[in-house]
Amino acid sequence: MEKVAPGKENTAIIDFCTGNDAAVLTTLRGLVDRYNLQVMGATGDAGKVSCNGKIYTDGMAYAVVRNEGGRVKTYKENIYVPKDNRQLVASRTDRTKYYLGELNGRPAKQVYMELTGATTDKDIINQTFKNPLGKMVGNDVCIMSIKDVSGTGLILYRQANDSDILTLLEMRDPMEVAASTVSRIKSDFNRISGIYSVNCIFRYLVLKERGELNTYLGKIASLGTSCGLIGFGEHYNSQFVNQTMTCVVFE
């Protein structure tokens, strides 16, 4: 890190992770806070990363990238917003299994079915494309996708803790959200040399089903040269998020 001589405005960490994202980002946070850096990245589906020719199955590979031609900035795009002001307090959680047992003191599965109209376990898993859960972090929301049903509880794609305040989310128009993202980036940068992004696999499937994938990619491409990949869990600074697009923009 010292050799790179990172700066807050011109350096970002791009990472590739094998899983257990929240723990990895917590470990990385020491570096992030010390150097005041931005982070974006994701976990892939193979459960492997490589660094200098060596393959790791339990870890993270990361690059510290300093832009010598201008600024660097990370962004997060979320196409889901709280459906209402209902607060759902998590309890009976198991962080090792990403298990959510109860919401407001009642079985999490039953509460979710009542809120969404889902009637079967399969419905619940499919419903997360339209109505994932979200964890409130101040005025921000971190998406928590549903992976499976376990008994009367739910298995999530990220950890839930006892007393976490959750809420039910609903999907906005992805094209309107994309237009807003493009506008925000254009207002921050007069000149863009490149963009690297990660889109969640769930976002990819939603956009493909709606027939909007190419339109979405075209909006991002309108900013300039871009590349990216599909991830199974996205990183934005110190946050681990689901069903999200994160990107880093280079001036």
Query: What pLDDT does residue 154 have?
Result: 98
Distance CA 74, CA 173 (A): 22
Tabulate helix, strand, coil % of the chain (nearest 5): 25, 40, 35
DSSP summary character for residue 217: H
Query: What mean pLDDT is predicted for residues 9-16?
Result: 95
Q: Half-sphere exposure of 130 toward its Cβ, with a 13 Å CA cutoff?
A: 11
Average pLDDT score, the chain: 93
Query: What mean pLDDT is predicted for residues 175-189?
Result: 96
State the SS3 of 140-151. EEEEECEEEEEC
Query: What pLDDT does residue 140 have?
Result: 83
Query: What pLDDT does residue 245 have?
Result: 96
Query: What mean pLDDT is predicted for residues 109-134?
Result: 96
Neighbours of 247 (CB within 10 A): 23
Tens of pLDDT, residues 68-112: 999 999 999 999 999 988 999 999 999 889 999 999 999 999 999
Burial grade of 71 (CB within 10 A; 0-12, 13-18, 19 or more): middle
Closest C-alpha to 250, from 113, 132, 73: 73
Where are the strands (E) in 60-130, listed by range? 60-66, 72-77, 80-82, 88-94, 99-103, 106-107
Rounded to two decimals, what is the model's pTM?
A: 0.90
- CA atoms 115, 117, 123, 127: torsion sign: negative
Where are the strands (E) in 96-164, listed by range? 99-103, 106-107, 133-137, 140-144, 146-150, 153-156
CB proximity list for 241: less than 8 A, separation 6 or greater: 76, 78, 142, 143, 158, 233, 234, 235
Tens of pLDDT, residues 18-54: 988 988 899 888 888 888 899 999 998 888 999 999 9
Distance CA 100, CA 160 (A): 6
3-state secondary structure of 61: strand
Tens of pLDDT, residues 199-225: 999 999 999 999 999 999 999 999 999
pLDDT confidence bin for 4, thresholds 50/70/90:
very high
Q: Nearest 5 degrees, angle CA 229-CA 233-CA 238?
A: 110
pLDDT confidence bin for 249, thresholds 50/70/90:
very high
Query: What pLDDT does residue 138 have?
Result: 78
b/e burial code for range 21-32 (CB count within 10 A of at least 16 → b): bbebbeebeeee
